[in-house]
Amino acid sequence: MQPLDGVVYQEVPQPGTPGNNRAPRSAAEYGYQTGTILGGSGHLRVQVSPQAVQVQYIRYDKSVAHSYAILPQSAREHPNAR
């Protein structure tokens, strides 16, 4: 996940990748400045609510390998706003 100009860019897992945890490449190698890159196959689960978007990377074995939340733009600009 990498935000740029108010847009969050998320690359999705490659379902055809063998279901193992082999060493992944670096984010920079794919042209990203930062990011978490995980090996193996899986899918994304995205839950949307007025408070946040919750994203989870679910591995082939149904375990949650990584998750993060995206706050609404107003909350990112003003963290103490309610």
**pTM of structure:** 0.68
Whole-number average pLDDT of the chain: 76
Nearest to 24 by CA among 61, 59, 71: 59
% pLDDT > 90, the chain:
23
Q: Which residues pair with 57 in a beta bridge?
A: 44, 66
**Residue-level pLDDT at 36:** 78
Which comes out higher in pLDDT, residue 13 or 66?
Answer: 66
**Residue-level pLDDT at 60:** 83
Mean pLDDT, residues 21-29 taken together: 65
Q: CA–CA distance from 3 to each of 9, 12, 25, 38, 59 (Å)? A: 6, 15, 20, 18, 23
